[in-house]
Chains A and B, each alone.
Chain A
């Protein structure tokens, strides 16, 4: 008898915990890391009365896995381009009713246009922050202007070159240089790219991701592949002005991190309110100042008083540069396998 009582009590406890939670108006958001300002979230709750539960994850892959595992019903997701493509294909996103998001007009057309590569009719996503892949170099150590990917193959910079330790990016540098699409999955083209990268390998100091920032600051590397926002961040840490960033003339990658509404969202109106809110000029400005990546919001960009900052390629790659860039398309399984195989060969040689 006592035993039965204990079991019943235990189960009752579990259900007691279930009872709390489930408020009327809450939004659950998951986003890529360091993309939000706490004040903005508070202000949203103050203005609308809608509570926000916000969390971050370091990579798009992780957000995708977390969402797909089904344990958590997120309403809004902020995630990278190619993952949006995957989520659309999986039928996981809800169409945004843009009548409820009038502030979407503040987003610059060129980013909506670029979004069509993964969201063909601009139905599901609203661009948030963006940037491009490019070359970051120290003008003290390199006296000629860098303009193209091929410059990373110059022997005189041997031992001072950093490539990226991520396969899509490093292959993009080789593919673009050969005149192929950075989204190529053609075996012959990719093999050519591999040969090119293998030829470059003796000159390369290391394949890095975040460490590139420190190596460039220390001056132990002179030239490095880098993303624009990261390049600007490095510049802001440096005690000199001898850094420059360029989007190579052969073309490169533009990435767009966007907000989407999931089809598990049961309060679409609130979600759309939030999207409208973060695209309002004053809020978008606040977000831009906190995050310091290139904002997709045209009003924010236009309102920046510092002309130099607006022209800073490392923060805002200019329209002419963006025109040369393509979005990474999601790889299918065979493409993924091929890339991984070649990447291993490059790393193993």
Chain B
């Protein structure tokens, strides 16, 4: 009895520490008073102001388009890469997988600065450099989620399709794609979330006047964060949470089947 109570209390405490700050932020986004210290009543004003603020809306559009395009491109490149890597011989396979995993573990700031150094050699920093850098760091996530799907794949079906006269692309579409598409989709969603979240890499690769939400909030820290930002963060949190739920739901369903 005591033991089960302690167990529950322990879990409860962990969840309180994890989620309390976010709950506070959400509550503040409905607070009519600008102060963090006092409750001035319930309001939707900040949400309204947020949507009519040009700077915030620009940043939001940038964030969403970059997240979507980069995740899409990364999904295509990542899937192709995963198929290629899977067909490699053991030694090469390990080498390449190691190489693609490094960016996952590498500190964001190192990735960010090195990409920036590369970009300034060729082009001016701007929207497109953010996009390229996001594609770059998103690819490993896609590879990582497509790879396990390829393990279980029976290579013979693909070869049989070729023997029966299918073009390679047609064979891929009919034999491989149906098997790995859940993995690709999971990878896409993961890339989307990573891109939405990123600050460090974006910060170093963004050009003048192009802000994503994270870099905009950072600049605002000087004079304290506006309540509009609480509203925006709340929406963003809900979006990411929804994406995560979808990802988890899908992978749970996949393991069952």
Contacts and interface: CB of A to CB of B under 8 A. Distances in A.
Interface of A: 14-15, 17-18, 20-22, 28-30, 32-34, 38-39, 42, 52-59, 71-72, 74, 210, 213-214, 217-218, 230, 233, 236-237, 239
Given A53-B208, A71-B116, A237-B35, A34 B222 contact: yes
Contact of B209 (A42, A54, A214, A230): A54
B37 A14 contact: no
A59 B208 CA distance: 16
A152 to B, nearest CB: 22
Given A30-B208, A34-B223, A214-B37, A18 B218 contact: no
5 contacts: A18-B122, A22-B124, A33-B219, A54-B209, A58-B219
B128 interface: yes
Contact of B36 (A39, A54, A214): A214
A38 B38 CA distance: 29
A20 B128 CA distance: 10
* Leading 6 A-B pairs by shortest Cβ distance: A53-B209, A33-B222, A56-B219, A38-B54, A18-B123, A58-B222
Contacts of B55: 38
A21 B124 CA distance: 8
Chain A interface mostly = mixed
Interface residues of B, number: 33
A30 to B, nearest CB: 7
A58 B53 CA distance: 19
Nearest to A22: B124
Interface of B: 33-38, 53-55, 116, 120, 122-126, 128-129, 132, 207-211, 216, 218-224, 226
Contact of A33 (B120, B132, B220): B220
Contact of A18 (B34, B124, B224): B124
A55 B54 contact: no
A52 B209 contact: yes
A53 B207 contact: yes
Given A33-B219, A34-B222, A55-B211, A217 B35 contact: yes
Contacts of A18: 122-124
Contact of B38 (A28, A29, A217): A217
B38 A58 contact: no
A30 B90 CA distance: 51
